[in-house]
Amino acid sequence: MDPKGLSVIPRGEPEQGGDGGGLEFDASWMMNLNEIWRESVRQIQDFLENREQYAEEIDNYLTERFGENYQETIGNNLKEFIEAINYIDANITGGEGIISAGGIIIDKEGKVYPYIGFGFGGQPGISGTLTLSTQQVRPGWNVAIQSTMGIAAQAGFHSYSYPKGTFWELGVGAVSGNVTAIYIFKPVLDLW
């Protein structure tokens, strides 16, 4: 350990079998994160570009499982919902009481909108959600209330963004509940 309390990995002196080159930095974990990120982006792109095909496959499965009138059994037309998805939102919140939030939204055109914010609520530690919406991404300030117990639901309104209005998202996530104000930036990346 160095005097500042930081851990270091000595590469070893020549008499210890090392090359005497000082410290070694293992960046393999960064490569793994890069590979995970690339694969995640590829899967999101595939889903958004082929959502009609996925909707058809889900529709066929539900028809086989519940019969031709499965929409009445399930309560809505899942196929139409999937075809209408306009964006995916990956969110992380941290804290308890006063919380911080951040994430990215990827729309069906592959534009990536980062966002950050703050709010109230939450569970101790870090929580995350992955949600979908059929609505349009609105850069600027947005205020939302979110409840997550395995299934995540979020509703809110666009404040100081044009056009103003409400929005909603549905998805999955860790157990949490909060009210947040987030600022969605203009797209910073075009994935496809």
Does one domain contain both 147 and 161?
A: yes
Does one domain contain both 71 and 143?
A: no
Does one domain contain both 172 and 116?
A: yes
pLDDT, mean over the chain? 75
Does one domain contain both 45 and 115?
A: no
CATH, residue 150: 2.40.128
Does one domain contain both 34 and 65?
A: yes
Residue span of the structural domain in which 116 resides = 85-190
Q: What is the 3-state secondary structure (H, E, C) of 116-168?
A: EEEEEECCCCEEEEEEEECCCCCCEEEEEEEEEEEEEEEEEEEECCCCCEEEE
Does one domain contain both 114 and 148?
A: yes
183 domain-assigned: yes
Q: How confident is the model at residue 168 (pLDDT cuts 50, 70, 90)?
A: confident
Does one domain contain both 114 and 141?
A: yes
Burial class (CB within 10 angstroms; exposed 0-12, middle 13-18, buried 19+) of 44: buried
CA distance 191 to 40: 12
130 domain-assigned: yes
Does one domain contain both 48 and 116?
A: no
More confident call, 167 vs 22: 167
pLDDT at 33 over 80: no
What pLDDT does residue 10 have?
A: 47
5 domain-assigned: no
Does one domain contain both 95 and 176?
A: yes
Does one domain contain both 130 and 43?
A: no
Does one domain contain both 145 and 158?
A: yes
This prediction has a pTM of 0.62
**Of 81, 97, 119, which marks where a domain is finished?**
81
Q: How confident is the model at residue 72 (pLDDT cuts 50, 70, 90)?
A: low
Tens digits of residue pLDDT in 124-151: 778 888 898 888 888 888 888 888 777 8
Count of the separate structural domains present in the chain: 2
**Of 48, 81, 114, which marks where a domain is finished?**
81
The arithmetic mean of pLDDT across residues 160-178, rounded, is: 75
Burial class (CB within 10 angstroms; exposed 0-12, middle 13-18, buried 19+) of 119: buried
Does one domain contain both 99 and 42?
A: no
